Amino acid sequence: MDATHPLLEVRNLTKEFHLHLVDGRTITPFAGLSFSVPEGSLCMLAGRSGAGKTTILRCIYRTYLTTAGEIWYDSQKFGRIDLATASEEEILQLREREIGFCSQFLKVLPRVPALDVTAEPLLKCGWSRAEALTEASRWLKRLGIEESRWQASPITFSGGEQQRINIARAFIAAPRLLLLDEPTASLDAYSKSIVLDMISEARAAGVTIVAVSHDMAALRPLADTIFNVPEHASLAAVQES
C-alpha cells in the first residue's frame, strides 16, 4: 500500500434522508464530513445520539448511498477505490474479502444453524466447509455459546447471544477493514471483556477498525483516534420540532 494514503479516507461526506411517509421534508444528519483512518488503527466515531454515527458506517459499507462526498479505500482487489461510487459487484467482492460489518441487529435466514451462520464468511472466502465449521466452533466456544445451541437458529437466541453471533461473523474472516456498530451492546460484563480482547487482538494483527459505541469508557483506551461527529443543524431542528 502507498504509505502516503490512509487505508480509509472520507472526504466531504454528506447524507440526506427524504421523509416521504411523514411530510416530505429532508433531514441531513451530517454534511461535509472529512476524516481519515491509518492502516492498523482503531478510529472511534463520537458524538451525541442522532449525529449520524451509524449512518457513516452504513455509507462506508454502502448499505446507504451517499448524497455527496467520497469514501476512498485502499483495497487489495481494486487498488484505491471510491466506495461511494463503486459498482455493486465491486462492493460485494469487497464485503466478501476485505470489509466486515458488525451491526447491532442480527439478520439471518430462518432455520439456518448458528454454526453455519458463523462459518458463512469463511465459505465466501474459499474455505472448505469442514475447515470453516471447525473455525466457527472455536469462535462460538470463545464467545460462550453453548455447544447444544449450535444447531439451533440464532433467531431463537437472546439479544446478547445474537450479538455474540454477529461479532463472531464480523471477526472470523479477519477483514482488512472492520466496521463495528455498538459491539458491546446487550452483552454482560464477561462477554464484553472477551469482545474487548478480540478488538485488541484484531488491531494488533493489523485490522483497521472504525467503531461506534456509547460505551466510551470501555473502548476509548483502545482507540488511536477519536473523530467527533458534529450534529447538523437540519437534524437538530427536526428533533426539537
| Domain layout of the chain by residue ranges | 1-98+178-241, 105-174
Helix (H, G, I), strand (E, B) or coil at 186: coil
Q: DSSP of 47-87, one letter per residue?
A: --TTSSHHHHHHHHHTSS--SEEEEEEEETTTEEEETTT--
Q: Of the candidates 177, 38, 167, which has an alpha carbon nearest to the alpha carbon of residue 100?
A: 177
- The pTM of this model reads 0.88
CATH of domain 1-98+178-241: 3.40.50.300
| Residue 150: C-alpha distances to residues 142, 143, 164, 179, 239 (Å) | 13, 12, 13, 25, 43
Give the per-residue pLDDT at 160: 86
* Residue 124 phi, psi dihedral angles, 5° rounding: -70, -25
Tell me if 7 sits within 8 A of 39, measured CB to CB.
yes
Whole-angstrom Cα distance, residue 21 to residue 149? 41
Whole-angstrom Cα distance, residue 177 to residue 7? 8
pLDDT in 10s for each residue of the chain, 241 residues: 444 469 999 999 999 988 766 666 788 888 899 999 999 999 999 988 777 899 999 999 999 999 999 999 999 999 999 999 999 999 999 999 999 999 877 777 778 999 999 999 999 999 999 999 999 999 999 999 999 999 999 888 988 888 899 999 999 999 999 999 999 888 889 999 999 999 999 999 999 999 998 888 889 999 999 999 887 644 433 333 2
